[in-house]
């Protein structure tokens, strides 16, 4: 059973600090990795996609991928209360068009 | 921007009723997906479709069926609703190929009483 693992949290981070969210996956052939943000009662919203080893930056968000270690992370710089949400990691499986989602990490930014 | 719409935000049905959930996307995406999301269980794939009139079972297809008669529309059908199908139902779409992101609709919160 291919899996995507995330710490469920809650992860509490002071406003203005860096929030670090981690995700590990089991399928060595996975090629595509995604981070989604989900506010309570809302649907997931795509934040970042990453396909190559290394870092990818978009505004306050940085995705980091290490395929050898099979982990992907999301850093949020200058955390804001509006960043409080559940963050879902998603990974492609079996080289088909499906992706598998982790159960998410709840992030709480402390004002 | 990709727009995925779902027919209802909230729905209340009785046990045994036939329920139709509709999803429409406006970006000419090949792939469409139906998930349900429950606390502690995360997102679980029910069915997906690569093309018109094509469907593939996901991880939890039992009790559900789907229909895709047009490229932009993907329907989820609960043939005989049961209380354990009370959940948040999310539709998503993507371009073909596993490098493409999925975009979600707003979700339908279904309650079966």
**Residue among B5, B99, B101 with most chain A CBs within 10 A, to mutate:** B101
Mean pLDDT of the region A9-24: 97
Nearest-CB residue to B45 (from A95, A98, A103): A98
Nearest-CB residue to B98 (from A45, A95, A102): A95
Whether the pLDDT of residue A30 is over 90: the answer is no
Mean pLDDT of the region A54-80: 97
Query: A102–B42: do the CB atoms touch at under 8 Å?
Result: yes
Q: What SS3 class is residue A83?
A: helix
Query: B58–A42: do the CB atoms touch at under 8 Å?
Result: no
Token reading at A108: 């709480």
Mean pLDDT of the region A21-33: 91
Confidence band (pLDDT; 50, 70, 90) for A27?
A: confident
B39 reaches A (C-beta below 8 A): no
pLDDT of residue B100: 79
Query: B98–A51: do the CB atoms touch at under 8 Å?
Result: no
Whether the pLDDT of residue A93 is over 80: the answer is no
Query: Mean of the per-residue pLDDT values for chain B?
Result: 94
- List the one residue out of B74, B106, B103, B102 whose CA is nearest residue B90: B106
Mean pLDDT of the region B68-82: 97
Token reading at A28: 């060595």
> For B91, which residue in chain A has the nearest alpha carbon?
A43
Peptide bond into A51 cis (omega under 30): no
Whether the pLDDT of residue A83 is over 90: the answer is yes
List pLDDT tens digits, range B85-110: 999 999 999 988 766 789 999 999 99
pLDDT of residue A66: 96
Query: A103–B102: do the CB atoms touch at under 8 Å?
Result: no
Q: Which residue has the higher pLDDT, A87 or A32?
A: A87
**B29/chain A closest Cα distance in angstroms:** 12
Nearest-CB residue to B96 (from A31, A97, A103): A97
Query: B98–A98: do the CB atoms touch at under 8 Å?
Result: yes
B108 reaches A (C-beta below 8 A): no
Whether the pLDDT of residue A58 is over 70: the answer is yes
Mean pLDDT of the region B3-23: 96
- Chain A CB contacts of B50 under 8 Å are 97
- Chain B CB contacts of A37 under 8 Å are none
pLDDT of residue A95: 59
């Amino acid at each position: 059973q291919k899996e995507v693992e995330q710490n469920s949290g809650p992860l509490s981070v002071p406003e203005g600090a860096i929030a670090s969210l981690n995700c590990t996956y089991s399928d060595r052939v996975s090629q595509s990795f995604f981070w989604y943000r989900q506010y309570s009662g809302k649907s997931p919203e795509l934040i970042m996609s990453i396909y190559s080893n290394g870092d990818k930056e978009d505004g306050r968000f940085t995705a980091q991928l290490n395929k050898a270690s099979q982990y992907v992370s999301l850093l949020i710089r200058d955390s804001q209360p509006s960043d409080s949400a559940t963050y879902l990691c998603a990974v492609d499986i079996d080289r088909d068009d499906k992706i598998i989602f982790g159960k998410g990490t709840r992030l709480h930014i402390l004002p | 921007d990709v727009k995925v719409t779902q027919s209802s935000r909230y729905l209340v049905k009785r046990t045994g009723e036939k329920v139709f959930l509709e999803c429409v996307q406006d970006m000419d995406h090949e792939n469409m997906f139906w998930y349900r999301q429950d606390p502690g269980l995360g997102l679980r794939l029910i069915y997906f479709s690569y093309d018109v009139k094509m469907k593939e079972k996901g991880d939890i297809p039992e009790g559900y069926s789907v229909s895709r008669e047009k490229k932009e529309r993907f329907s989820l059908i609960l043939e005989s609703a049961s209380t354990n199908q009370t959940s948040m139902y999310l539709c998503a779409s993507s371009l073909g190929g596993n490098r493409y992101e999925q975009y979600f609709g707003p979700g339908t919160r279904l309650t079966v009483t």
